[in-house]
Amino acid sequence: MRIVLLDQGAMELIGSVGSHGDLDFSRLAATLPEWQAYEATADTQVAERIANATVAVSNKVRIDDAAMSRAPHLRLICIAATGTNHVDLEAARRRGIAVCNVPGYATASVVQHVFALILALSIRLPDYQQALRAGRWQQGSQFCLLDYPIREIAGKTLGIIGYGELGQAVARIAEAFGMKIMVAHYREGQPNAGQTRTPLQELLPQVDILSLHCPLTPETRGLIGAAELALMRPDALLINTARGGIVDEAALAAALCQGKLGGAGVDVLTQEPPTQDNPLLAANIPNLILTPHIAWASREARQRLVDEVAANIRAFLQGETRHRVA
């Protein structure tokens, strides 16, 4: 029995793969006697690398039906993440290959990143840092520099799209800041989960900050486009730590450049790594903070992820079901 980890480099600091990294992989390595880890795996290498594997572990490497067809011993695909869109779940079901993910491991990390973005945008932190480096405080006539408006988030309304574990955790912290919470109803058959929901088109004009926590599905792709951005207040903030593709990036860039939106904090893009022609990578987009998909990536969260993958494998080998999605 053999385990193959296809993209260990996606979970550790750059240049720190293996025993020299910042994570402890000993629990994962101990789950099966034969253990092989790769720093990265290209799409063209997947089939070859899982061909003799019993368990394949992937953070973001795509595993499709064609690759599964060349892996006759494969019994389990462990997704080292919460999202499952890079694995063909239907093909796995047909082939009798179990698939499990790791929900909830990065909640604390994502929540703190959400509020880091909200607070930095609300106090215009990047702008003040740039002004300081340019010498504007040093050259000023007053004891402080008041070049950009600063807003308190207490009393502001936070709209949340996606009220699962992450959305609810963000709401709890927002309430501690004294914010008001509104939860969007954005799809048919959506359960209330004990929270009153407001149709998205009604919610957008009412919120000071909109934070996205829904999965990327055919239903949510392009959910926030030009029409939705136009409904938001011109001083509102948009925070996306969910998935690229939920927001129309060109429309967001245009809204910011035209002063139709107050700011945006974006941690995810439609294509990752992005190409240089991505609209949000253009120079001089005002009040935009773009981070490279790191909301999940605290060391504590990444270690929990590795340990939960190991627990999923142990449970499967003992005939138990744990976080199974296919």
**Burial class for 135, CB neighbours closer than 10 Å (0-12, 13-18, 19+):** exposed
Q: Assess contact for 163 and 195: CB atoms under 8 A.
A: yes
Q: Measuring CA to CA, how many Å separate 24 from each of 1, 53, 323?
A: 22, 22, 22
CA dist 202 and 314 (Å) reads 47
Task: Compute how many other C-beta atoms are within 10 angstroms of the C-beta atom of residue 37.
Answer: 17
Residues labelled catalytic: 243, 272, 293
CA dist 28 and 39 (Å) reads 15
- Cα distance from N-terminal residue to C-terminal residue, the chain: 21
CA dist 217 and 223 (Å) reads 10
Spell out the alpha helix ranges (H) of the chain. 26-29, 46-50, 65-69, 89-95, 107-122, 125-133, 165-176, 200-203, 226-231, 249-257, 299-317
CB within 8 Å of 308: residues ≥ 6 apart = 102, 105, 323
CA dist 288 and 262 (Å) reads 9
Q: Assess contact for 57 and 6: CB atoms under 8 A.
A: yes
Q: Assess contact for 241 and 215: CB atoms under 8 A.
A: no
Residue keyed to tokens 């207040």 = 233
The angle, 0 to 180 degrees and rounded to 10, between the axes of the packed helices 165-176 and 107-122 is: 50
